[in-house]
Structure 1
Amino acid sequence: MLLSVMRSCAKELDREAGAGSSQGPPRARIYISRDREGTTERLHRDYFAEQPTFPDFKFKRRYRMEPQLFERIIAGIRDCTINPLPAQFAYFRHAYDATGRQSFNIYQKCTSALRQLVYGTTGDTRDEYLHMSEQTSLKCLDNFFLCVTDLYQDVYLRKPNARDIQRIYETHETRHGSNNDINVLNRSSLFDSIKNGSAPPSPFTVNGHDYTHGYYLADGIYPDWATLIKAYSSPTDDPSAKFIRFQESARKDFERTFGVLQGRFNILRVPGRAWRAKKMHCILYCCVLLHNMIQEDMVLL
């Protein structure tokens, strides 16, 4: 009797599972035949051949970097010699699927990842050109920013040293005529190095007075700390009004930095509600890192 009841319950559960929440017939998985090999040849012909279809300025517009920098990133990911090889680097190596077909090559995968960063579109937007499914495109993006961060964060995401700070002083003085070092980010660990004594030296001289530590320009929302310099709320003389003009001008330069970053990588403009906070954090740092690499490459050209 008990066995009969169990079988009856099992059949009922099977019927409910088969019916689904819509009470309709189960949907069959649709197979889309994608020309993976054809897109490999087309991508090479369009951008990476000896005489590509599209000139370099088209490449720079669509990849947001020069071809040689893209090749440098490709080589860094492809030639990684870490042992054992991390999964994110292994993802870009040559592989074959269950049918014996070769997977997408590293140029296709990195192109898909960069197009998502640059245009901020969904994973399947480039399906018509790369013949790559949405799931594969998202995997390309996830592994790409992990590889780029692992390879270059020690150089392009490091804290500024004394030489960097002096260069910032000189650039800022040329533009604004005063010495101010700024990079105040809300809820950051910026002041940890000052408190524990590990901050790099940043001496400067103003009106004949020597100062050993830099200070940071801020607005009214920040606390009243000695290292934070705010604008006067109600200037009473010409020097105070002049200071406000210079202070606000310098502050706006750095507030526009994120706007420049959004202009280069549109993925930072679109909502990220479907992403976890950790992934948004990784994408932001990857964009900052790539921006620094691009800026350095522009100086070297």
Structure 2
Amino acid sequence: MPSEAFQQWVDNIEKINLETEMELTRLKYEGDSQIERLKYEREAQNERVLLENRKVSMKQNKINLELFKVLASKDYLTEEEENLKSHLVKKDLETYFPHNSENVIIKLSMAENRPYATGRLGASTLLKCTAAIRLLAYATSADLVDDYLKISGSLARDSLQHFVEGVVAEFGDEYLRRPNETDLTRLLYAGEERGIPGMMGSIDCMHWRWKNCPLQFKGLYSGRAGKPTLILKAIASYDLWIWHAFFGTPSRCNDINVLDRSPIFNDVFEGRAPPVSYVINGHQYDMGYYLIDGIYPQWAAFIPTISLPLNEKESLFAQKQESKRKDVERAFGVLQARFAIIGQPALARDKYMLGKIMFTCIIIHNMITV
């Protein structure tokens, strides 16, 4: 039997160890709380700085707009005023191409600046790009651009056509690409952080009414609303980047018919898709999936919600699935807010032109999202 003194010594050691462990736990908790508080303060400070910068930028843009209106109202400009006008137009272009404004100006030289009969040079490439962007962003008629840029409606329409063709040709491969291995790793990590491991995005359709649809196509493109409509099927991720866009299907088709026509899984069938690997409940999977609504077929690549959950576990899954599936709806909303031409009935009569406009808006949307 151990002596009383030895037992007391053991009890004191255990008490000291317990107190030490509690003190370490308290210090760790206080340290974690302090780290979280510092992170929160830093994020709040960054938000305040961004808000102030945004206010200054909006104020500067307003001043630039008023100055450009004054310059545009003058019939003759000095060399210094011409340079200032070109600089303001370039600033307007950088609003929509924050990372590629110089490439856009160089690659989208739609026509050489030829002189008029009077000897004055015609509209520059900057003016034509600005006219095209204003038509996309504000959905105004081509004639209204004359008040801002002093160019005719026909030139504005031609500029829009050359602009969308140039953007799709030069930037489509980069900003309309399928996710590569690096992109998939980032998407899978983001899905795991949001509580849905293996998610690569959400998929849905958007309808764009075709107001000036040719008479011979109205029956084909008229859907449930009785109006000609074109369908855009897209895949969007948490950061609102649109990874897949398939446009031009008549509105008489439902989501399943559009899926059958789209090349969404061509890279998987042809063996070109990057490898995918993630773990759920101790099981490893090698195929990612997309979040959908209830109309799609029951494929392994599609995860629908549970419409009638019977227990708390199913309710939690349905809540997470339905909230994360809204990523593609948010992407559609932001796309229509940035480009009013998509939110209003399409005026062009050429389906090919409407497709170029839609893809151009998606490309610029992805440029801004970067």
- Same-fold call, TM cutoff 0.5: yes
Name 2:181's counterpart in structure 1. Answer: 162
| 2:348 pairs with one of 257, 265, 274 | 274
Aligned residues: 243
**1:139 Cα shift?**
0.4
**1:64 Cα shift?**
3.5
Change (3 A) 1:290 1:36: farther
Name 2:151's counterpart in structure 1. Answer: 132
Name 1:118's counterpart in structure 2. Answer: 137
1:47-86 alignment runs, 5 A limit: 48=87, 59=92, 63-66=95-98, 69-78=100-109
**TM-score under structure 1 normalisation?**
0.72
Give CA-to-partner distance per residue, 1:203-246, whole Å, 9 cap, x none.
21111111111112111111122221111121111111111011
| 1:210 pairs with one of 260, 264, 284 | 284
Change (3 A) 1:276 1:145: same
**1:108 Cα shift?**
0.7
Q: State whether structure 2 residue 150 is matched by structure 1 residue 150.
A: no
Secondary structure at the aligned position of 1:259 is classed as helix
Q: CA–CA distance in 1 between the matches of 2:131 and 2:75?
A: 13
Would you say the 8 A contact 1:64–1:264 is kept in 2? no
Structure 1, unpaired ranges of 5+: 1-33, 79-88, 297-301
More strand by share: 2
Secondary structure at the aligned position of 2:284 is classed as strand
Q: State whether structure 2 residue 193 is matched by structure 1 residue 174.
A: yes
1:185-224 alignment runs, 5 A limit: 185=233, 186=255, 187=258, 188-224=262-298
**1:110 Cα shift?**
0.6
**TM-score under structure 2 normalisation?**
0.59
**1:43 Cα shift?**
7.2
Would you say the 8 A contact 2:202–2:292 is kept in 1? no
Q: CA–CA distance in 1 between the matches of 2:86 and 2:106?
A: 16
Q: State whether structure 2 residue 322 is matched by structure 1 residue 248.
A: yes
Name 2:230's counterpart in structure 1. Answer: none
Which has more radius of gyration? 2
Task: Give the percent of matched residue pairs that are identical in Structure 1 and Structure 2.
Answer: 34
Paired AA for residue 249 in structure 1: S
Change (3 A) 1:183 1:232: closer
Coordinate RMSD, CA, aligned: 2.9
**1:290 Cα shift?**
1.2
Paired AA for residue 239 in structure 1: K
Structure 2, unpaired ranges of 5+: 1-72, 204-232, 234-254
